[in-house]
């Protein structure tokens, strides 16, 4: 330390000598070197550049120790040497003096502190570019670069990616505040980093989602074991400001022996999604078969959304006949999907998916309006023609359902008494009180209510009187069992119940003449099924009604 202090003092003496010598030269007569001041501007610029370069690029070089010698030579040159050579030496010394003053003004000092400060700042910025500022673990950039490097190298071992996501973090953040949420993220990052190897990479991707890169694995199960250990640690209770919280996390694991990072990260996300669907708080490995199925599902979901936007859905109608003469007295509206590649798609393929996507209120509203508009056209030729339209569970719970039905009736001009709204028994009994309230409001519009699949609900009899129902539709399973029941069929019992409650019965699923005959004998007045007609487009119903009208005229 003493030696360094001595060198520092010596260097300051040298610097002061350079500055002093330069001041002497500045007041030296202008003709000392027999050159004009204007002529000296060119060497001045060169001297300044040289001096700055020497101090900034090699500030510790011993060349500055020889500055007094250079000063002496310059002064001697002024006295004894004439011409441009002496002037150049003068301006070189002046440039060195300016550089010394600049270095002191900038705070470099004797040990190059400015250069080191700049280097330190660059290093700090470089570290910040690869670190998450909240948790201190790596960020997405670090993960992608390290993962790309690992996957690009040929290796006999495997590389795994684990994506970890905190379950219910958004709700926790809203309940306890963002400060607690930030503390939780920092604690999660610490627990992640503490449960992986030194050469593994932990990074925060976004929000409450973290990722772990595990290179050099010998088998696939090792990655799952790491993920399970991580979750066990994450699930331990945490305490922040006296508040104890138990936070669950889910993890998705994907393993690759090569390939791109985007693919393996997408696979890990897919596995995480599966873990969430399975209830959360667990680990799931990427499964190619499940991934393929879910890809198909996602594509189907996109197709349904597109179909709604471009008008690929259409309404078909199945006739409802009066068994006395088998005249068509109404139809049931059924939605179909005219897919551009798959052709006509039956409702069983897409209705559940549309329900899960929350699209049935929109789709059901469109079907209702389309059916009502078509019913008005048929009623001009066949007064009293009835239109049955199904209501889904999500439509029944829609608080705007009654207003929407009223608006559709007004727009289409359909007489409400010719509209029958159907809902299944299971949907109606999900919330009996609410169902009764909504159905009563619908009946106040003048429409009628039908209970579909009647007889299949476990509480049918005890709750039937609580619902404002006008029509019951006997389930097809009872109708198809009639020929084997020896006359004492369940259908007969259901019909008896309908009469007891003064409800109009309609038998569904009639497939042959024998079943139709049994229903006539049981005094069931109306039926529908393939025996009479399959669902068809509106034009097919129009042609059927025209043929029926011609037959009546001929009769």
pLDDT of residue 70: 46
Q: Report helix, strand or coil for 212.
A: strand
pLDDT of residue 203: 94
Q: Is the overall model pTM greater than 0.75, yes or no? A: no
pLDDT of residue 168: 86
- pLDDT at residue 92 greater than cutoff 70: no
- pLDDT at residue 287 greater than cutoff 70: yes
pLDDT of residue 341: 87
Mean pLDDT over the full length of the chain: 79
Residues 258-270: what's their mean pLDDT? 84
Q: Which of 5-19, 128-142, 490-504 shows the lowest mean pLDDT across its residues?
A: 5-19
How far apart are the C-alpha atoms of 286 and 301, rounded to whole Å? 21
The percentage of residues in the chain with a pLDDT greater than 70, rounded to a whole number, is 73
How far apart are the C-alpha atoms of 386 and 390, rounded to whole Å? 13
Residue position matching structure tokens 């299949």? 456
The percentage of residues in the chain with a pLDDT greater than 90, rounded to a whole number, is 34
pLDDT of residue 492: 84
Backbone angles phi, psi at 29, to 5 degrees: -55, 140
Residues 140-145: what's their mean pLDDT? 91
- pLDDT at residue 65 greater than cutoff 50: no
Q: Which of 81-95, 251-265, 298-312 shows the lowest mean pLDDT across its residues?
A: 81-95
pLDDT of residue 291: 78
Residues 204-220: what's their mean pLDDT? 89
CB neighbours of residue 266 within 10 Å: 16
- Residue pLDDT, tens place only, 154-163: 677 788 999 9
How far apart are the C-alpha atoms of 322 and 182, rounded to whole Å? 69
pLDDT of residue 301: 84
Q: Which residues pair with 165 in a beta bridge?
A: 209, 250
Tokens of 80: 């004894």
- pLDDT at residue 31 greater than cutoff 70: no
pLDDT of residue 93: 55
The CATH class that applies to domain 134-287 reads alpha beta
pLDDT of residue 173: 81
- Residue pLDDT, tens place only, 411-447: 999 999 999 999 987 788 788 889 899 999 999 999 9
66 pLDDT tier (thresholds 50, 70, 90): very low
Angle, alpha carbons 304-305-308 (nearest 5°): 85
Sequence ranges of the domains in the chain: 2-114, 134-287, 307-554
Residues 382-393: what's their mean pLDDT? 93
Q: Which residues pair with 343 in a beta bridge?
A: 339
Indicate the DSSP class of residue 58: S
How far apart are the C-alpha atoms of 191 and 228, rounded to whole Å? 13
- pLDDT at residue 387 greater than cutoff 70: yes
How far apart are the C-alpha atoms of 139 and 131, rounded to whole Å? 5
In Å, how far from its chain's centre is CA 523? 56
From the candidate CATH numbers 3.40.50.150, 3.30.70.260, 3.20.20.450, 3.20.20.150, the one assigned to the domain spanning 307-554: 3.20.20.450
Angle, alpha carbons 104-105-107 (nearest 5°): 65
Same fold, 134-287 and 307-554: no
pLDDT of residue 30: 45
């Amino acid at each position: 330390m003493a030696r360094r202090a001595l060198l520092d003092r010596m260097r300051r003496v040298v610097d002061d000598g350079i500055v002093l010598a330069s001041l002497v030269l500045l007041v030296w007569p202008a003709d000392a070197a027999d050159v004009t001041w204007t002529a000296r501007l060119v060497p001045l610029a060169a001297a300044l550049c040289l001096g700055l370069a020497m101090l900034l690029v090699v500030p510790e070089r011993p060349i500055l120790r020889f500055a007094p010698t250079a000063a002496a030579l310059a002064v001697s040159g002024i006295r004894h040497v004439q011409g441009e050579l002496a002037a150049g030496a003068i301006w070189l010394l002046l440039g060195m003096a300016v550089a010394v003053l600049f270095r002191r003004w900038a705070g470099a000092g004797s040990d190059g502190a400015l250069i080191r400060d700049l280097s330190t700042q660059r290093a700090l910025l470089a570290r910040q570019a690869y670190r998450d500022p909240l948790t201190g673990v790596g960020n997405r950039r670090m993960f992608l670069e390290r993962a790309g490097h690992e996957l690009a190298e040929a290796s006999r071992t495997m590389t795994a990616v684990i994506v970890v996501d905190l379950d219910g973090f958004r709700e926790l953040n809203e309940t306890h505040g963002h400060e607690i949420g930030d503390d939780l993220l920092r604690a999660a990052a610490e627990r992640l980093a503490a449960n992986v190897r030194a050469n593994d990479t932990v990074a925060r991707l976004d929000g409450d989602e973290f990722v772990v890169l595990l290179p050099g694995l010998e088998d696939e199960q090792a990655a799952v074991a790491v993920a399970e250990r991580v979750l066990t640690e994450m699930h331990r209770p945490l305490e922040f400001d006296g508040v104890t919280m138990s936070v669950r996390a889910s993890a998705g694991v994907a393993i690759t022996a090569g390939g791109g990072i985007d693919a393996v990260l997408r696979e890990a996300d897919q596995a995480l999604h599966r873990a969430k669907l399975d209830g959360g708080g667990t680990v799931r490995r990427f499964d190619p078969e499940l991934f393929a199925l879910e890809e198909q599902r996602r594509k189907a979901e996109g197709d349904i959304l597109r179909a709604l936007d471009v008008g690929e859905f259409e309404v078909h109608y199945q006739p409802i006949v009066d068994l006395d003469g088998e005249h068509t007295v109404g139809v049931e509206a059924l939605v179909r999907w005219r897919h551009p590649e798959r052709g006509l798609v039956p409702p069983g393929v897409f209705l559940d998916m549309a329900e899960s996507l929350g699209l049935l209120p929109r789709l059901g509203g469109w079907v209702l309006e389309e059916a009502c508009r078509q019913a008005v056209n048929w009623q001009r030729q066949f007064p009293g023609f009835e239109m049955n339209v199904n209501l889904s569970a999500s439509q029944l719970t829609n608080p705007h359902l009654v207003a929407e039905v009223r608006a559709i009736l007004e727009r289409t001009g359909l007489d409400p008494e010719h509209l029958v709204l159907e809902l299944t028994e299971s949907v109606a009994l999900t919330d009996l009180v609410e169902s009764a309230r909504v159905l009563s409001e619908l009946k106040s519009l003048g429409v009628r209510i039908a209970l579909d699949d009647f007889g299949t609900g476990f509480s049918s009899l005890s709750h039937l009187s609580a619902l404002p129902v006008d029509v019951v539709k006997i389930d097809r399973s009872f109708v198809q069992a009639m020929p084997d029941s020896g006359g004492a069929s369940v259908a007969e019992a259901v019909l008896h119940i309908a009469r007891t409650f003064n409800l109009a019965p309609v038998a569904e699923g009639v497939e042959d003449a024998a079943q139709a005959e049994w229903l006539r004998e049981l005094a069931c007045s109306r039926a529908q099924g393939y025996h009479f007609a399959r669902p068809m487009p509106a034009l097919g119903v129009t042609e059927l009604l025209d043929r029926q009208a011609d037959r009546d005229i001929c009769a």
